[in-house]
Structure 1
Amino acid sequence: MKTLQTELVEKDLSRPRTGEVEQKSIRTRGSRKERLTSRDWAEIMGTNRPTYGRKKGGAYRQR
């Protein structure tokens, strides 16, 4: 069984792949490490958001 890539090359629908991968000429910048405070993490996780639950009668109410 042949791979899809080899079949495409045989039917001249694609160029044969070379062993080398083309490298981009763009430099990659160093990743910036963002320092988050504990308050920022609490905001991301949603710990200071209002919570709702069903109470008597089935209605959603703020706890």
Structure 2
Amino acid sequence: MKKTDPNITRHTVSTTVTLTNGVPIESVSNIHGHKNLRTTHYYTRVLNRKVSYYMRTLK
């Protein structure tokens, strides 16, 4: 069994489970215990990059 980095797990949950399913970013911030919403905004940048990548592959 491959060992998983806890931070990768947090990022995956934030981008694929919560944000893509319409959970408000404030809720995601609370779930992760972020004191500053800017910390949570990092996850939206990751999500936007993934969307941009997939859109380019469709062309």
The two structures share one fold, judged by TM-score above 0.5:
no
**TM-score where L is the length of structure 2:** 0.22
More helix by share: 2
Q: Which has the higher contact order (CA 8 A, sep 6+)?
A: 2
More strand by share: 1
**TM-score where L is the length of structure 1:** 0.21
